[in-house]
Amino acid sequence: MNPDESLERDERAIPGTSGASAAGPSRRAVLQLLATAGVGTAVFRRALADEASKSGAITAEQIATAEWISGFTLSDEDRRRLAASLPELHEDLRKIRSISVNFDELSCLRFDPEVAAPFIREQSSRARPWLSSKDQSQPDEPVLRPEELAWLPIRTLARLLRQRQISSEELTQSCLQRLRRMDPMLNCVVTLTEDLALQQARVADQELAAGKDRGLLHGIPWGAKDLIAVSGYATTWGIPQFKDRNLPQKAAIASKLEAAGAVLVAKLSTGALAMGDQWHKGKTRNPWNTEQGSSGSSAGSASAVAAGLVPFAIGTETLGSIVSPARRCGVAGLRPSFGRISRAGCMALSWTMDKPGPLARTVDDCGLVFQAVHGADTEDPSSVDRWFQWPMHVDLSALRIGKVTDSAIQAADQAALDHLQSLGAKIIDITLPRDLHEYALTTMLEVEAACIFQKFTNEGVTEGLNVWPGIFQKARFVSAVDYLQASRIRLQLMQKMAEVFQKVDLYVGGDDLGIANLTGHPTIVVPSIMQDKQPQRRPECATLTAGLYDEATLLAVAQLIEQKADVVQYHPAIDPETMPKP
């Protein structure tokens, strides 16, 4: 049965519409009507739909019967008015639903993380007082064997390119070869962009030879999470329905990296519709333990960086999709403040929570990439221009660093605090606002995602979507009133976090994934300790969260931890010839 035909029959069966059936409404039709009208709770709607389907119409008496589980009480007059008004409301909603809307079309509502702290805009227009410019020059190093290129940071690769010890084409070929060799084991590659990569690499070599230097990313290979559109190549969003889809546009972040001279070598896996590490070709693996998934949804980005397949990659986060795979795979990952990087040309999951950001082997690499891609874009009305400069030196004596005391302290977070304390930092105990049920507030994310992908729900599309179909269906029963009420409570959460950052400038750990993603605050992941685990020792990562738009402080402090911990020297021991394949 065609879902659209079934839906049309149900709509015609609702009394008061142009094609009302004498037999009365079906239970499904009444449920849809009440849900789109935002009437009551899901339980109330089911009870009322059962009553209506028995008698053939929604009456005031049936509303009263179902009312005891609705969470509110209506007067007799209210019941009569509601019963009379629902058909007219349904006709309005039917007209709205009849208008075609593409996946990438925006909502007119815009999330603004500055609402809770109006002073942030002025404060973020300049460097924080504890920051100062830093010289990041490096000593010359001997020419390395090709396999050693895989683990070099961006600054070293950039210097080798400018000294003509390697070419961008050689570096690009090296990355392409490693991607081919390791992908059967890691399952992190959706598409190799070989033709584009070699073309961009040759242009980079020509420009550098002619003295045209676009910056430290010039000639450096990178990988894009496969929800970032790149014309000429498939953008699958991790689902089988789009495995051959070629979007005509190029995402703003890909255009900025191209302008910086970076070389795109691969589209990397994302969990289906940006959830988890399971996509239409299976599970992406953690290079430190290939029996384990790489977490998600920036699954391929984290896996490829950890395995030395690309110097850096771009991921996105809505609720953990940079932080989680970066921690699982033991790499540096920066989830910037909301609005810092344009999302134009990237798959939308939540208009109020999506945030692109870099994953790389070092904190400095993340800073270099962020410097190239941050800033306002007319195609993304939520994007903003705020001060940022990198590299920066931080005066720890002038900084207030928080230790979160109302959640368990992970070993990696404690190691980071110990490293900072040994460098002279003052640590202040703090608590985070946990009384506003932050994970209940992520219902907003689910509703926005259900709106964006309502076509799938309406057409009964479920194949390869992980657990999204159930979430989309459930979210259709959240009323507009409840969504807006959640947004008001979310503002309270933002205000309480603004108070936290009156006490400290950043904090370590805190189990704040839900809180900080809802409020738009930036977080960085940094390996801080090596742990003895099977099948091999691997890094454990700390997380640091800072005030809005203060990525420079976040990066500067994280770099001190990275240097003190010296975990970046370790690499996963992976060999496709001996390691089990997924």
- The pLDDT score that the predictor gives to residue 221 is 98
pTM, full prediction: 0.86
List the catalytic residue out of 295, 297, 303, 479: 297
Of 159, 166, 39, nearest in space to 90 by CA: 39
Contacts of 564 (CB under 8 A, 6+ apart): 419, 422, 423
Question: What sign does the dihedral 72-78-83-86 (CA atoms) show?
Answer: negative
Domains of the chain: 3-97 (no CATH), 120-128+146-437+479-569 (3.90.1300.10)
What is the distance between the alpha carbons of residues 488 and 25, in angstroms, rounded to a whole number?
A: 35
Report helix, strand or coil for 77.
helix
Report helix, strand or coil for 1.
coil
Contacts of 97 (CB under 8 A, 6+ apart): 36
Active site residue 168: no
Number of residues written out for the chain: 582
What is the distance between the alpha carbons of residues 286 and 306, in angstroms, rounded to a whole number?
A: 8
Average pLDDT of each block of 10 consecutive residues along the chain (582 residues)?
Answer: 32 31 50 56 57 58 64 77 74 80 87 93 93 77 67 96 96 97 97 98 98 98 98 97 96 98 98 98 97 97 98 98 98 98 98 98 98 98 97 97 97 98 96 96 95 94 95 87 92 97 98 98 98 95 98 98 96 71 50
- In order, the DSSP letters of 256-277 are HHHHTT-EEEEEE---TTS-SS
What is the distance between the alpha carbons of residues 36 and 477, in angstroms, rounded to a whole number?
A: 8
Return phi, psi of residue 175, to 5°.
-65, -45
Q: 169-188 burial by CB neighbour count: b if 16+ within 10 A, else e?
A: bbbbbbbbebbeebbebbbb
- The pLDDT score that the predictor gives to residue 287 is 98
- The pLDDT score that the predictor gives to residue 460 is 93
How many CB atoms sit inside 10 A of residue 523's CB? 28
What are the helix (H) ranges across 409-461? 411-422, 438-441, 443-452, 454-459
- The pLDDT score that the predictor gives to residue 75 is 85
List the catalytic residue out of 124, 225, 295, 479: 225
List the catalytic residue out of 168, 294, 321, 479: 321
Active site residue 581: no
Active site residue 250: no
What is the distance between the alpha carbons of residues 493 and 485, in angstroms, rounded to a whole number?
A: 13
- The pLDDT score that the predictor gives to residue 505 is 98
Looking from the CA of 434 toward its CB, the CA atoms found within 13 Å total: 11
* 57, 24 Cβ separation under 8 angstroms: yes
Q: Which long-range contacts (CB under 8 A, 24 or more apart) does 146-151 make?
A: 146/170, 146/174, 149/174, 150/174, 150/175, 150/178, 150/308, 150/309, 151/308, 151/361, 151/571
